[in-house]
C-alpha cells in the first residue's frame, strides 16, 4: 500500500512541492516478519554522543540509472549530482565513515537495489558483512521528460534488514532537493533527530563596489539568490522562527532629508512583500525575532547611544529594553529559544563583552571576561550554549560558552595566505545545533565556512570572489 506525503519546501520566491511515497515493497521473501523494518518512531541506530567517538561504516554505491538510455539527456550528470549531494550531506553529519568503492565485494552496477533471494538479481547482504559494513544505501533513478524519480533504500547490514525505503518524485530542477530530503530521512531514521539539509543560509554579500545585498542559498552554499536591490548596503539579515520572513537593515534613501539612513526592513519570501519596520534617525539594525514570531528585537540609536528595543513585526509598540548605563553601547541582541533570555554585546564594562538579561531587560549578567572584544552572540537551538566572536590581540576567533558563562571553548584558528592569523567572525548555529556557520578571512577574502561544535570538522562552503557578512542559518524548513 502506498501513501503520499506532500512537503512544501521554502524557497526565495514560491514554495516547491515535493511528493514522496513509501516504496511498496521490500519483498516478503527478502525478510521474515521478525526482521521487518522499524517504524519512523522506532529503532535508534546511532546515539548522538557515541557517534562523536566512533563513526559508523557506511557503503554508498553510485546511483543506478534505471531509465531507457535515450529517454533523458545526460542522465549520468543527474545521477552524479544526486550522489555527490547525498555524500556531501552525510559526510558533513560526521556520523559516518565511508567504505572505499574499490573494496566492494560485488559489482553494484550489476545487482538490484533490493536484496536476494527475494528479488532476482538482487544484492547479497553477505558480500557486505566481511567489510564490517553497518549501513548500506542503494538508490536508482529514472527520468521521464522533466520528471525525476528516485527510489532509495537504507539497510542495516548486521541484521540484513531495511530501515528506510522511499520513492521521491519532483522536477529535474529539484534534483538537489530530492537528495537533501533523502539525506534528512536517513538521519531521522538512524538517530531519531531531524536532519539539517533542507535548511538555508541568509547573508549580506558584496556586489558592486561599496555595495552589499542580501542573498539566500542552500546550507552548502549552492543556489545563491539575491533578494534585495537597494544598490547601497544591505546587511545583518535575520530569520523569522518559521523561516518564511527575513528582516535586514539597508541604507535607504530618504528623499525629504536627501540622505541615507540605516532602516530596518522585513521581507516575505513567498510573496516578495517588503515593508519598513523601523526608520528612526540613526541605526535601526541587528534584528532578532522572538520565538512567538510576532515581535522582534533590534538596536536603535536615535537617542544617541545604541540600545536594544522590542517591537511588533509590523513596526509598532516599540519598547526600550536597555539604557546605558553611563552611555554604554548595547547591541546585537539574540533571543534564547524559549524566549526567556536575551544575549547581547555591550561595552558597559569598558570593553565589548557578552551579557545575558531577562526578556524584559532585567537581571543583566556578564558572561564573558576573556579577550579584548567579544561580539555577535547567538544561542544554540537547545538554549544551553552561546557562540560568539572573540578578539584577542590580533584577530577574531569563534567560541562557544555555556549560557551561564562557564566552559568556554575556542573552535577556530587559521592563517591567511600571507601567514598572518585570519579573522573568524559572525557565528550562527545550524538548526540541529551540531554545526556553526561563520565568516573567515583565511583565503584572503571573506568566505563562508562551517565547523562542527566540537571544532573537529571545518569546511569551506563558498568559493568565489565576493565578500560575505553576518550570515545566519535558517530554522528547520522541512
pLDDT attached to residue 53: 62
pLDDT attached to residue 48: 76
Please report, for residues 66, 78, 142, the alpha-carbon distance to residue 71 in angstroms, rounded to integers and kept in the order given. Answer: 10, 13, 9
Residue 122 has pLDDT above 50, yes or no: yes
Q: What is the mean pLDDT of the chain?
A: 90
Tally of domains in the chain:
2
Query: What range defines the domain where residue 129 resides?
Result: 4-191
Residue 26 has pLDDT above 60, yes or no: no
pLDDT per position as a tens digit, 247-298: 999 999 998 889 999 999 999 999 999 999 999 999 999 999 999 999 999 9
Confidence of residue 478 (pLDDT cuts 50, 70, 90): confident
From 143, 171, 191, give the residue that closes a domain: 191
Return the C-alpha cell found at 458: 571545518
Return the CATH number at 42.
3.40.50.10070
Residue 223 has pLDDT above 50, yes or no: yes
- Measure the CA–CA gap between 31 and 26, rounded to whole angstroms: 8
Higher per-residue confidence, 18 vs 368: 368
Residues 68 and 102 in one domain: yes
Nearest CA among 206, 184, 210 for reference residue 195? 184
Residues 319 and 438 in one domain: yes
Confidence of residue 301 (pLDDT cuts 50, 70, 90): very high
- Range picked from 24-28, 117-121, 204-208 for highest mean pLDDT: 204-208
pTM of the predicted protein model: 0.90
The CA angle 428-434-437, to the nearest 5 degrees, is 30
Q: Is 148 within 8 Å of 178 (Cβ atoms)? A: yes
- Range picked from 3-12, 60-69, 438-447 for highest mean pLDDT: 438-447
Residue 62 has pLDDT above 70, yes or no: yes
pLDDT attached to residue 121: 95
Q: Is 238 within 8 Å of 289 (Cβ atoms)? A: yes
pLDDT attached to residue 42: 54
Q: Which long-range contacts (CB under 8 A, 24 or more apart) does 392-397 make?
A: 394/420, 394/421, 395/420, 395/421, 395/422, 395/423, 395/424, 396/423, 396/424, 396/425, 397/424
| Poorest-pLDDT segment among 180-189, 231-240, 255-264 | 255-264
Residue 323 has pLDDT above 50, yes or no: yes
94: left (phi over 0), alpha (psi -120 to 50) or beta: left
pLDDT attached to residue 401: 98
pLDDT per position as a tens digit, 85-110: 999 999 999 999 999 999 999 999 99
Treating both helix axes as pointing N-terminal to C-terminal, what angle do 75-92 and 175-191 enclose, rounded to 10 degrees?
A: 30
Strand-pairing partners, residue 473, are: 201
- Measure the CA–CA gap between 94 and 400, rounded to whole angstroms: 19
Residue 184 has pLDDT above 60, yes or no: yes
Percent of the chain at pLDDT above 70?
90
Strand pairing class (96-98; 56-59): parallel
Please count the other Cβ atoms lying within 10 Å of the Cβ belonging to residue 295.
20
- Measure the CA–CA gap between 353 and 397, rounded to whole angstroms: 14
From 164, 191, 218, give the residue that closes a domain: 191
Residues 103 and 49 in one domain: yes
Return the CATH number at 460.
2.120.10.30
Residues 340 and 360 in one domain: yes
Residues 183 and 236 in one domain: no
| Poorest-pLDDT segment among 15-19, 139-143, 204-208, 245-249 | 15-19
121: left (phi over 0), alpha (psi -120 to 50) or beta: left
CA contacts within 13 A on the Cβ side of 332: 25
Residues 26 and 70 in one domain: yes
Residue 8 has pLDDT above 50, yes or no: no
- Cβ partners under 8 Å of residue 357, min gap 6: 321, 322, 341, 342, 344, 363, 364, 365
From 191, 217, 236, give the residue that closes a domain: 191
Please count the other Cβ atoms lying within 10 Å of the Cβ belonging to residue 222.
13
Q: How far apart are the first and last CA of the chain?
A: 24
Amino acid at each position: 500500500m502506498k501513501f503520499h506525503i506532500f512537503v512544501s519546501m521554502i524557497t526565495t520566491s514560491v514554495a516547491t512541492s515535493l511528493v514522496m511515497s513509501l516504496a511498496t515493497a521490500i519483498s516478503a521473501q527478502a525478510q521474515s516478519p521478525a526482521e521487518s523494518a522499524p517504524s519512523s518512531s522506532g529503532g535508534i541506530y546511532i546515539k548522538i554522543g557515541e557517534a562523536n567517538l566512533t563513526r559508523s561504516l557506511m557503503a554508498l554505491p553510485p546511483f543506478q540509472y534505471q531509465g531507457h538510455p535515450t529517454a533523458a539527456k545526460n542522465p549520468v550528470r543527474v545521477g552524479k549530482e544526486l550522489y555527490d549531494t547525498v555524500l556531501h550531506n552525510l559526510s558533513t553529519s560526521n556520523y559516518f565513515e565511508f567504505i572505499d568503492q574499490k573494496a566492494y565485494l560485488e559489482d553494484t552496477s550489476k545487482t538490484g537495489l533490493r536484496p536476494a533471494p527475494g528479488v532476482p538479481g538482487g544484492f547479497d547482504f553477505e558480500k557486505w558483512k566481511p567489510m564490517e559494513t553497518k549501513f548500506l544505501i542503494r538508490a536508482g533513478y529514472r527520468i521521464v521528460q522533466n520528471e525525476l524519480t528516485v527510489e532509495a533504500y537504507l539497510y542495516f547490514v548486521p541484521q540484513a534488514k531495511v530501515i528506510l525505503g522511499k520513492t521521491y518524485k519532483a522536477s529535474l530542477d529539484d534534483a538537489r532537493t530530492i537528495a537533501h530530503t533523502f539525506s534528512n530521512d536517513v538521519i531521522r531514521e538512524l538517530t531519531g533527530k531531524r536532519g539539517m539539509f533542507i535548511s538555508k543560509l541568509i547573508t549580506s554579500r558584496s556586489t558592486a563596489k561599496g555595495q552589499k545585498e542580501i542573498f539566500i542559498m542552500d546550507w552548502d552554499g549552492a543556489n545563491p539568490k539575491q533578494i534585495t536591490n537597494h544598490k547601497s548596503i544591505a546587511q545583518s539579515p535575520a530569520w523569522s522562527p518559521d523561516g518564511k520572513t527575513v528582516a535586514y537593515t539597508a541604507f535607504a534613501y530618504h528623499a525629504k532629508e536627501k540622505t541615507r539612513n540605516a532602516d530596518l526592513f522585513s521581507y516575505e519570501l513567498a510573496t516578495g512583500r517588503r515593508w519598513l519596520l523601523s526608520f528612526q534617525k540613526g541605526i535601526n539594525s541587528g534584528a532578532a525575532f522572538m520565538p512567538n514570531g510576532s515581535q522582534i528585537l533590534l538596536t536603535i540609536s536615535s537617542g544617541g547611544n545604541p540600545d536594544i528595543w522590542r517591537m511588533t513585526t509590523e513596526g509598532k509598540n516599540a519598547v526600550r529594553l536597555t539604557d546605558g548605563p553611563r552611555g554604554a553601547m548595547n547591541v546585537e541582541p539574540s533571543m534564547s529559544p524559549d524566549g526567556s533570555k536575551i544575549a547581547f554585546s555591550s561595552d558597559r564594562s569598558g570593553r565589548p563583552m557578552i551579557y545575558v538579561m531577562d526578556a524584559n531587560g532585567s537581571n543583566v549578567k556578564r558572561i564573558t571576561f576573556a579577550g579584548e572584544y567579544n561580539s555577535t552572540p547567538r544561542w544554540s537551538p537547545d538554549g544551553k550554549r552561546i557562540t560568539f566572536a572573540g578578539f584577542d590581540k590580533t584577530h577574531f576567533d569563534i567560541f562557544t560558552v555555556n549560557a551561564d558563562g562557564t566552559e568556554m571553548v575556542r573552535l577556530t584558528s587559521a592563517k591567511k595566505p600571507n601567514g598572518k592569523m585570519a579573522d573568524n567572525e559572525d557565528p550562527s548555529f545550524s538548526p540541529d545545533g551540531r554545526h556553526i556557520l561563520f565568516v573567515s578571512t583565511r583565503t584572503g577574502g571573506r568566505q563562508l565556512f562551517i565547523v562542527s561544535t566540537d571544532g573537529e570538522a571545518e569546511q569551506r562552503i563558498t568559493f568565489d570572489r565576493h565578500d560575505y557578512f553576518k550570515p545566519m542559518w535558517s530554522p528547520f524548513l522541512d
